[in-house]
Structure 1
């Protein structure tokens, strides 16, 4: 068997979608294991850009079964919209399936997400307001609705009536907003139900059978290690676990079936939303990075916060996820900088550490300890052999390997599917 995991090693937006797409033609199955449509994965093929929010990034490969796993929260209206957009371009989506155990994002989840963020005001989390957190909250308070509930629609309506009474009470009494109409919601789901039913499967059996038959299965998460609900900059995190461990819970597979854990790391740092960011650049250099890297959210369009590479963050990801390989993306963006500071430690109250503090108050006091690297000016987007990279670029990559203790197997030198330098074949 060959189980592959692709995880983000920073705060997300590292280019995971591209890497899943690159590996997709060698996969029998691509499985999304957590998150929802609060992420945007961009895939570029021959100059044509596809932005995916909920569909697995392997969807453009017709031979790979694409599964939305039990740990994902699914907005069915967004899902069908994405499917319709792809099919309007001639992309067949019959290979897209949904776990019956996946929870459904309901319209009231989206509304509550917006209301909660507004109420938090200056203490807002910075969510995408897509209903992700409220849906996961219902999951863990055991009042959520799942894809399998759509099979018996009378059962779905009964469960909806119970949950909606709770949600409407919150909306009316706490936020003084108009309640949702039960009959209108029933009609909305009645209209889309027949389109969803053929896609609902027993994903746990399907995925494990594929692994047991020695098929190649790639597990794809949204967000990244520093947004993990347990190990990220809490509370400025997502509502699930985008780590390799999250695969076991979110897809229903044993950790013994995960052979390759591939961490994707951007050659500099970015994050979206609130929370501490030690290497953030709040000057013209940060804006230069943003413009050169086109650092705007694929889901929200929000400008990303930009800073120098923080290897303390990547080292933490290597440790927690047990990374076997690293993929470095967007290193071509750095070609214009003469000097490249790389954070290799934090100074907190006069002490130097490489660990990520649990306390945000302590983390906010951290000052970066930089190792200064010489830059390069050559355009590297056309390079396909590692040895042809400028010497200073190779030294930059060597530092990443040194600090993280993880080999770099692929270097992305541009957004297109073909803009890659393969150092070690990830599928062997």
Structure 2
């Protein structure tokens, strides 16, 4: 089983960082294959908490090589700052590999992102304002700047000129902002070249050679399935493909190499930003989930919207990703509820619907149909085996497994690296 994909099965923030870190000691490479510093992973090692944004979680595992693939968009200042912060804490970051084909988030991408969101007002998407979407748009429009361009000043200048020809027109005439000087952008980007050079690599070649040598490679997605640009709750989505197929294009590895696809599920549901959310709670239960679960975005700092577990989107994630396993996180957060509602279907225009509606209109009008499951009061944070869990907690896990369509192979019972029940080995 040389290649595994690990991804979010909801709207992101499911605990992928912990899951990746748990596997990090058993894999040779951990690869981020899409997204940018709009994604955040929190990893707790002992009494140390690490907040990672661009870097793969495997960077905290000494024997693992962390890789930023070609499908990621990279803000050089954020990457270098993150590396510096880890170095100061004694983490060795020297093994990091950065794809020369990854696209760079330029200063003008960040500017365009922020002014566009402000201009949209009530119609805003809820982006993080970090330039992710505009950078992916430049990539598709073939005016993007890639990491490798930092090492050819002539090509870099030509590409920045081409991008700013249009963007300066938009900034000055539509948004009443000052034009951005080509020379200023080129100078700023060139300043990163020497600092990034030790990491830049042909990651497609490296990863495929590793797989040919039977090395274990873990592909780590940012965000989650329901934020996928093609398969998520469009237009309230990210600008890339966090789903399993994105690992192939975002890392340059063929689908026949992937042997296991692991979906990360919270024992309840959260999302950040605008968009439909059928099980969202606006009452004391929602506030309790937010408080107990520490539901604040790692990257954005925004409070997450909270709701009960949604089995409809879990089934959808299983199908669209071809999930082979689930890692259920934050089961401990549900301790203390007498009964726990689980959304098993939707009601749309008076009809019961058990699969995710493809229509945006229908999904916006979907009302959750709940089944009540008995809760538990026992502290489960010290549980080491499935049998250590209270009977009602075991029943809750089994019910979610049956509703979601794939086996639950691990359960998070606390934030720490060692607070995990492993039912079936992923590797």
TM-score (norm 2): 0.98
| Secondary structure, counterpart of 1:125 in structure 2 | coil
Report what 2:378 is aligned to: 378
Cα pair 2:6 2:262 within 8 Å, conserved: yes
> Are positions 1:215 and 2:215 aligned together?
yes
Where does structure 1 lack aligned partners over 5 or more consecutive residues? Answer: none
Structure 1 residue 50 and structure 2 residue 74: aligned?
Answer: no
For 2:161 and 2:361, locate their aligned partners in 1 and report how far apart those are by CA, in whole Å: 43
Deviations 1:248-285 (CA, angstroms, capped at 9, x unpaired): 11111111111110000000000001111111101111
Q: Distance in 1 between matches of 2:189 and 2:145?
A: 12
Match of 2:13 in 1: 13
Alignment deviations for residues 369-414 of structure 1 (CA, whole Å, 9 cap, x no partner): 1111000000100110111100000111111111122111100101
Q: Map 1:116-135 onto structure 2 (within 5 A).
A: 116-135=116-135
The Cα shift of 1:68 comes to 0.5
Give the corresponding residue for 2:336. Answer: 336
CA–CA distance in structure 2, aligned partners of residues 417 and 343 of structure 1: 29
Number of residue pairs the alignment of both structures matches: 427
Q: 1:339-363 CA deviation, whole Å, 9 max, x = no partner?
A: 1000010111121112212222211
Q: Secondary structure at the match of 1:259?
A: strand
Partner in structure 1 of residue 29 of structure 2 = 29
> 1:60 Cα deviation (Å)?
0.8
Q: Which residue of 1 aligns with 2:369?
A: 369
Greater CA deviation, 180-189 or 77-86?
Answer: 180-189
- SS, match of residue 58 in structure 1: helix
User: 2: distance between equivalents of 1:158 and 1:62?
Assistant: 40
Greater mean alpha carbon deviation, residues 252-261 or residues 145-154: 145-154
- The more displaced of 299-308 and 162-171 is 162-171
C-alpha root-mean-square deviation of aligned residues, in Å? Answer: 0.9
Q: By how many angstroms is 1:161 displaced?
A: 2.0
CA displacement 1:180-210 (0-9 Å, x = unmatched): 2222222212222101122111111111111
Counterparts of residues 20-419 of structure 1 (less than 5 Å): 20-419=20-419
* Secondary structure of 1:59's aligned partner: helix
State the alpha-carbon separation in 1 of the partners of residues 326 and 346 from structure 2.
23
Q: Report the CA distance between 1:47 and its aligned residue.
A: 1.8
Instruction: Report how far residue 165 of structure 1 moved.
Output: 2.4
CA contact (8 A) 2:381 2:414 kept: yes
Q: Deviation of residue 140 (structure 1)?
A: 0.3
- Asked whether the 8 Å contact 1:62–1:95 carries over to 2, the reply is no
Deviation of the 1:156 alpha carbon: 1.3
Q: d(CA) in 1 for partners of 2:187 and 2:144?
A: 19
Q: Distance in 2 between matches of 1:320 and 1:21?
A: 25
Compute the TM-score of the two structures, normalised by the length of structure 1. 0.98
Q: Distance in 2 between matches of 1:174 and 1:87?
A: 43
Structure 2: give runs of 5+ residues left out of the alignment.
Answer: none
